[in-house]
Amino acid sequence: MATDVLIKENKLLKQRFPDEANKHYTYPSIDKLLDNLNHLADMIENHKSVQRPRLRTLENYYKGNNETILEGQRRKEEHQADNRATHNFAKYVSQFIQGYMVGIPLKTSYDDKNVEEMLRDMNRINDADEHNSELILDQSIFGRAYELLYRSKADENRFTTVDVMNTFVIYDDTVERTPIAGVRYFYNDYTKEESVYLYTDTYRIIYKIDEDGKLTEDDAEPHVFGGVPIIEYENNRFRQGDFEDVLTLIDLYDGAQSDIANYSQDLNDAILAIFGRFDLDGYGDKDPLEIMKMMKDANLFHFEPPVDGEGREGRADAKYLYKQYDVQGSEAYKTRLANDIHLFTATPNMNDERFSANQSGEAMKYKLFLLEQKRAAKERRFKKSLRDRYRLINNVMKMASEGEFDVSKLTITFTENLPKNIAQEMEWFNAAGGRLSQKTMIDQLRFVENADEELERIEEEEKRKPINKNLYDFPGDKIEEVTADGE
């Protein structure tokens, strides 16, 4: 620890963000925290001053407001061009990963149809597909995402995303790292009041923050989730965003592209160097600068060659003075930077001619091998938090006598969003003599959410179809009635 401090004091370790900007908040227990509200106030202040700047920087890069290229002075001479070109690699990385993971919505299934139907209805009420997609995006940008569970006025179990800029979770200091509280704080521009919402496993407590940073309880309300209703979704072990470790490479690319733009613009204002002397005959007493401007406007310069001391004439010439630009070297440098950004974020470079759109899904997987490894790790962490969501909802359902289910039996399925040649696969399967059930074939359709529901709809439609009695009559046949006497 002393070595780390020494390195930082000597400024040998040049990190963009300090380690404290992404640390977890821990405390022995919720009871001790409630007895020491000044420690909670310190955590909030630390989050504002140390953690939020990192989150704000990552948000700026995602929005294309790349801070390094947009801040400070880049050109020493005021008359030179000062273009600031930003390149939104950050949005490309996060949106690609978001689409790859949940472009096809994840599915939650259960072996009991009644429970599965209940979960499906709840997910529809909460628009779970969009909600999960937003969580994945926040994870990718900030390295973390937060979800708040609550019971609506209509007695519905609801969940929503909350802003990472003013939300954090406090864990106990055991090896299990169990959440003991969730915190949301915000400032109201109209009332000029700052409030803190503290969620424990049994209560939601509201505090007001005075000018001295002291917390005063304003309201308290119990809940029956049986756990902290703010759930944290971590992107990875270090809570690092998907483009966070290539911010310096993005800065270098911005700088290189901006320098090229400045070069092109400065070339228009290059200095004209004349080797010789102007022929001023016929211009009278006009100022030489005015004569030069007249010639420039006419795109013609007329000047005499210089004469040395022995009367010999030199060569007359005129040319612009400007910094020479190595086109090939500069383009190779930018290409290398772009390739490194894609390599270290495990995202494909769509400008790569070898990344053809005509390849099959299996061939694409080999090109996305690194992203597949990242996806697997992200999915495991996402499923863990997702099960926490349904575990807390199950607790509420039991208390409200709305039924219950075993969260361990819940199946969560991610499907990578890749182009697939289903027709080719089906052709090969049929040629091999294979057969598929209707449910399996319907499952391959992306616009069908649930195959079982679709089969039930088909069955209901078949039952409602009118029976055509004429199908059972044969032309020329005459149906005769047989009496009791056999006549």
Transcribe 451-477 into DSSP letters: HHHHHHHHHHHHHHSPP-GGGG--TT-
With respect to residue 76, please indicate whether it lies within any of the assigned structural domains: yes
What is the average pLDDT value for the chain, to the nearest integer?
A: 84
Q: Does residue 172 sit in the same domain as residue 210?
A: yes
> What is the model's pLDDT at position 388?
96
What number of other Cβ atoms are within 10 A of residue 168's Cβ? 22
> What is the model's pLDDT at position 10?
47
> What is the model's pLDDT at position 3?
45
- Can you tell me the distance from the alpha carbon of 381 to that of 387, in angstroms, rounded to the nearest whole number? 10
Q: Does residue 310 sit in the same domain as residue 367?
A: no
Domain end call among 288, 321, 354: 321
Q: Does residue 79 sit in the same domain as residue 209?
A: yes
Does 178 score more than 90 pLDDT?
A: yes
- Can you tell me the distance from the alpha carbon of 94 to that of 89, in angstroms, rounded to the nearest whole number? 9
Q: Does residue 255 sit in the same domain as residue 277?
A: no
> What is the model's pLDDT at position 5?
52
Task: Retrieve residue 120's tokens.
Answer: 């499906």
Q: Which residue has the higher pLDDT, 2 or 24?
A: 24
Contacts of 421 (CB under 8 A, 6+ apart): 360, 361
Q: Does residue 227 sit in the same domain as residue 276?
A: no
Contacts of 461 (CB under 8 A, 6+ apart): none
Q: What is the 3-state secondary structure (H, E, C) of 4-23?
A: HHHHHHCCCCCCCCCHHHHC
Q: Does residue 188 sit in the same domain as residue 92?
A: yes
Residues 455-482 pLDDT 10s: 788 888 888 877 665 555 555 555 455 5
Q: Does residue 203 sit in the same domain as residue 343?
A: yes
Contacts of 325 (CB under 8 A, 6+ apart): 260, 263
> What is the model's pLDDT at position 7?
44
Q: Which one-letter DSSP state was computed for residue 313? A: B
Q: How many folded domains does the chain comprise?
A: 3
Task: Retrieve residue 22's tokens.
Answer: 């992404």
Q: Does residue 98 sit in the same domain as residue 58?
A: yes
Give the whole-number percent of the chain exceeding pLDDT 70.
78
Q: Does residue 235 sit in the same domain as residue 280?
A: no
Q: Does residue 389 sit in the same domain as residue 430?
A: no
With respect to residue 416, please indicate whether it lies within any of the assigned structural domains: yes
Does 64 score more than 80 pLDDT?
A: yes
Give the whole-number percent of the chain exceeding pLDDT 90.
53
Task: Retrieve residue 446's tokens.
Answer: 């992306």
Does 117 score more than 50 pLDDT?
A: yes
Q: Does residue 402 sit in the same domain as residue 429?
A: no
> What is the model's pLDDT at position 1?
46
Domain end call among 365, 389, 420: 420
> What is the model's pLDDT at position 296?
65
With respect to residue 10, please indicate whether it lies within any of the assigned structural domains: no
- Can you tell me the distance from the alpha carbon of 441 to that of 83, in angstroms, rounded to the nearest whole number? 55
Q: At what angle do helices 89-102 and 52-62 cross, to 10 degrees?
A: 90
Amino acid at 151: R
- Can you tell me the distance from the alpha carbon of 269 to that of 258, in angstroms, rounded to the nearest whole number? 17
> What is the model's pLDDT at position 327?
77
In 310-368, which residue ranges form alpha helices assigned H by DSSP?
A: 327-345, 361-367
With respect to residue 143, please indicate whether it lies within any of the assigned structural domains: yes
Q: Does residue 139 sit in the same domain as residue 163?
A: yes
CB 381 within 8 A of CB 237: no
With respect to residue 192, please indicate whether it lies within any of the assigned structural domains: yes
Domain end call among 405, 420, 435: 420
With respect to residue 343, please indicate whether it lies within any of the assigned structural domains: yes
> What is the model's pLDDT at position 23?
94
Does 446 score more than 50 pLDDT?
A: yes
Structural domain of residue 291, as residue ranges?
Answer: 271-321
In this structure, are strands 193-199 and 179-188 parallel, antiparallel, or unpaired? Answer: antiparallel
What residues does 344 pair with on adjacent strands? Answer: none
